[in-house]
Homo-oligomer: A and B are copies of this chain.
Amino acid sequence: MRLTTKGRYAVTAMLDLAIHAGKGPVSLADISERQGISLSYLEQLFAKLRRNELVRSVRGPGGGYQLNREQRDINVAQVIDAVNESVDATGCGHTGSCQDGSICLTHHLWCDLSSQIHDFLSQITLADLMERSDVRSVAKRQDREHSSAFEDSLISAKVTA
C-alpha cells in the first residue's frame, strides 16, 4: 500500500476545484499557485482524474477543469484510486499468493486493513470536506495570500486598457 504526496496532491487539488467551482472552470495554473504543486505534475494527475471521469476539461482561454459529478458523489477513496491505482495493503492484490503461489500467514490481516481504510475514505465526500471549519479557514488563507496576484492581473488589465 502506498499513500504518498501523489494521492495527497490529487485530493488537495480536487478539493481546491470544489472550493473554487461556480465561477467557471479552474485552471491548473491557479491550483498550482494556490496549493504549491508543480504545474507539470498536476497535468499528469489530472490526466488520470479525467480518464476516471472525476473531472471534465474546457480548453482554450478561460478554460480549465470542473468536477464531473456532484460534490456529494465524489469521495476521497475514488480520487486516490484514480491516481494511485488502489489503496491495497496486501502484497498479493487480494489473490492470496504472495508466498510462491500460496497464501501467506498474514494475508487476511492485510485484507481486513485494506477494507478498513477503504471504508473510511469512501465515506468522506468532497462536500463533507468543504463543510469542515479547518478546511474553510485554510482555503480562506490561501485565497488571501494569492489575491495579490489576482489584483495584479486586474491592474495590468487596466494599464493595457
Contact = CB atoms under 8 A, between A and B. Distances in A.
Interface stretch (A48-56, A60-68, A97-105): A97-105
A109 B91 contact: no
Assembly of this chain: how many copies?
Answer: 2
A3 interface: yes
Interface in A129-154: 129, 132, 134-135, 138-139, 141-142
Interface string A49-89: 00000000000000000000000000010000000000001
Contact size range, A: 35 or more
Could you tell me the dominant secondary structure of chain A's interface residues? helix
B12 A135 contact: no
A89 to B, nearest CB: 5
A45 interface: no
Interface of A: 1-5, 8, 11-12, 15-16, 35-36, 76, 89, 91, 99-100, 102-110, 113, 116-117, 120-121, 124, 129, 132, 134-135, 138-139, 141-142
